[in-house]
Amino acid sequence: MDEQARQLAGLIEDAVYHLGAYNMSGNCCENISHGEFRALRVISRLDRCTMQDIAKSIAVTKSGATRIVSRLEEKKLVRRMNDQNDARVCCVQLSKEGKTLVSRLMEEPAKRMAGILSAMAPEMRQILLIGLRALVETALNQSAFRDDQQKATKVIRRTMNRKIS
């Protein structure tokens, strides 16, 4: 299992490098960072989302997501607005320029992927999709489980501290 894990980690790293939309300096096309690119993709998929949604999706803190969104806002790629149901909640949405950029940035990797997939047997494409979906779903479930465990641990510690005090 350890050898399989090492092989898979290496293959995923290679795939991300060769199929990704960013270069070795960490910049994506048109002078946005990889973190900014990932945030744009999340906002694009969710249409309108909170800083918490972005933070969870790209594995950064809420303040990290806020800094990324601020840079994207300066570049006129996103806009902030208050949530319609709760004015205390800040939502983020792509601007017209942001939608255009995301579309353009996703086009080249999608073309490369289409070329690769067309060279594969249809059965192998299906196996690849099933396997990758299972991998991502399991990783997300384990991440959510760890988050729940951490929250529970914090609550238990707070409770223990109250009893001791």
Examine the pLDDT at 164 and tell me if it is beyond 50.
no
pLDDT at 122 > cutoff 60: yes
pLDDT tens sequence across 12-69: 888 877 777 654 445 556 778 888 988 999 999 988 899 999 998 888 999 999 999 9
pLDDT tens digits for 75-85? Answer: 999 999 987 88
- pTM exceeding 0.85: no
What DSSP state is assigned to residue 26?
A: S
Average pLDDT over the chain reads 83
> What are the structure tokens assigned to 22, written together?
């960013």
Can you tell me the mean pLDDT for 3-7?
A: 91
Q: What does the alpha-carbon distance between residue 133 and residue 131 come to, in Å, rounded to a whole number?
A: 5
Q: Identify the residue with better confidence: 92 or 15.
A: 92
C-alpha 134/C-alpha 121 separation (Å) is 20
Q: Binning pLDDT at 50, 70 and 90, where does residue 71 land?
A: very high
Is residue 22 exposed (0-12), middle (13-18) or buried (19+ Cβ within 10 Å)? buried
- pLDDT grade for 165, boundaries at 50, 70 and 90: very low
Residue 158 has pLDDT above 60, yes or no: no
For Cα atoms 143, 147, 19, give the angle at the middle one, nearest 5 degrees: 30
Which segments of 20-95 does DSSP mark as H helices, in order?
34-46, 51-58, 62-74
